[in-house]
A = this chain, B = another copy of it.
């Protein structure tokens, strides 16, 4: 089919929607390193993990050979409520940039959670429900994961307890109300409600929190409350598995029109969106069937891939979680109050870390003010007000399109537009008022944090 015929938005029909998630690890020669027990430093067994996570999710977490996992019918029905998400041809942005590049984005923001997070939230809540649990605990940064989990739990009738990074909690009071409307309880983290929260508050009074702190608190509550398990919105293999629906849909839509992207770009906090978006394309690259450039975009204020170390580290600040081998800034790294709350994580999915380490993927870091400049330009021509997290990908997509303008190359760019910025207006206000600043951690700060990495040989 001619490229002229490509509509502004490509929607798959329900029949074309994926019926299985794709497990990227099955095609990796170098598998991501296993999680380690923090006490013994030995690989976590399924039994050990089941103290924290639901059984079915533990299976998915540990399985690095099965290429596809069937999506249960109940989850597929829930997906139909808000999926398929549109694959958008950014005609207006191309026109504005006067670039020969062809730009596409997979837009995951058309649901009340405001992001792709719902894709994994419903899966994790579903398995918790089927295990007969009473409820789940979790952390949330920007609030999107917490909202997504609240929606999934509200739908299934599960109790949902959310620990929300304090700076986001304060910047986004209305996020709390969305979660409450769906029946969840929300606590700002660090809090006095857990031992680890009290310890962090004592050591860092006045801290605005981090995802690492909030994870510690949520895990403590889950493991000490009967009938509860902990669920996580990013980083884990299971999350990347569920999020593969983003890439699978995008690829099906592009294939229908015979379009092959040259560059695939995603923002990277814990890696859930990026891992999901690139999964089927990366699979082709790993199997030698096709080649793509993959670019992970992270904030300059929290640059785990570009300035971190590939090493075993704790996933949380309180060191109660298993250790993962990943690019990390150190679990003690507390990033500045960057407004892209969802990207303020010290580590990175071990799957993506391994792929980056093996040279399958590039990474760049970008500064906040440049990100908001891209966000505003994008909003004005494409209509959608993007989330700050998503805008990291927009920034680099625009930069790559402008390079094409210089060279005259007609590259095809695909990026992930993970969500909307409706709850990020405080940050937009700062930007509109010219009061937003950039922050880049010093080499000394990062070195100091990395010097505290656990010793694993």
Contacts and interface: CB of A to CB of B under 8 A. Distances in A.
Nearest to A174: B425
A80 B14 contact: no
A41 B455 CA distance: 87
Interface in A146-177: 151, 154-155, 173-174, 177
Most B CB atoms within 10 A — which of A376, A380, A432? A380
A376 B181 contact: yes
A384 interface: yes
A119 interface: no
A383 B178 contact: no
Given A8-B80, A181-B376, 18 more contacts: A7-B14, A9-B80, A77-B91, A92-B155, A110-B110, A111-B383, A112-B379, A112-B385, A112-B420, A114-B422, A151-B383, A154-B379, A178-B428, A180-B432, A181-B379, A181-B428, A183-B380, A422-B423
A256 to B, nearest CB: 13
Most B CB atoms within 10 A — which of A112, A173, A382? A112
Nearest to A382: B81
A383 B81 contact: yes
Main secondary structure of the interface of A (DSSP, over half): helix
16 contacts: A8-B14, A11-B11, A77-B91, A81-B92, A81-B383, A112-B379, A112-B383, A112-B422, A114-B422, A155-B381, A174-B426, A177-B425, A178-B428, A180-B429, A180-B432, A181-B379
A182 B377 CA distance: 9
Q: Which 7 A-B pairs have the closest CB atoms?
A: A174-B425, A8-B80, A177-B425, A422-B422, A112-B385, A154-B380, A7-B14
A82 B110 CA distance: 11
A13 interface: yes
Number of copies of this kind of chain in the complex = 2
B425 A380 contact: no
Contacts of A154: 379-380
Contacts of A376: 181
Given A385-B112, A432-B181, A155 B380 contact: yes
A430 B180 CA distance: 12
Interface of A: 7-9, 11, 13-14, 77, 80-82, 91-92, 110-112, 114, 151, 154-155, 173-174, 177-178, 180-183, 376, 379-385, 420, 422-423, 425-426, 428-429, 432
Nearest to A151: B383
Nearest to A9: B80
A82 B174 CA distance: 25
Contacts of A7: 13-14, 80
A307 to B, nearest CB: 31
Contacts of A91: 77
Contacts of A111: 383-384
Given A11-B11, A14-B8, A422-B422, A432 B177 contact: yes
Contacts of A173: 425
B178 A425 contact: yes
Contacts of A384: 111-112
Nearest to A422: B422
A234 to B, nearest CB: 21
A177 B428 contact: yes
A368 to B, nearest CB: 15
A422 to B, nearest CB: 4
A358 B423 CA distance: 45
A427 to B, nearest CB: 9
Nearest to A79: B8
